[in-house]
Amino acid sequence: MAKTSVSNETDGMLCLWVEPWGTDHWMRPGEEFTVATRTAPEDSPFHVVVHRQGVTVWVNSAHDAEVFDKNGTPAPCGHQRPAEAEF
């Protein structure tokens, strides 16, 4: 299993997008999430992009991906999504 971590070191909420599925997972300041997929790490399974809307982790394998918080608890699509999120 391959994993990559994303931390929110800003003062506000930050959206972690996981593509190609378009799932959104919102992190509070100081939070860290891990994106995991079932592929070998040497296969370069991730591509990380930082942009104005947050951070996108592209999963370059044909497998699904899961997002977990720092405690290993699943963070499903829409996790902590603010009511004012516009999309």
> CA nearest 26: which of 41, 11, 16?
16
User: Per residue of the chain (87 residues), what is the pLDDT tens digit?
Assistant: 899 999 999 999 999 999 999 999 999 999 999 999 988 777 788 999 999 999 999 999 868 999 999 999 999 999 999 998 876
pTM: 0.91
Taking the C-alpha atoms of residue 40 and residue 56, their distance in angstroms, rounded to an integer, is 20
Angle at 74 between CA 71 and CA 14, to 5 degrees: 85
Q: How many CB atoms lie within 10 A of CB 58?
A: 15
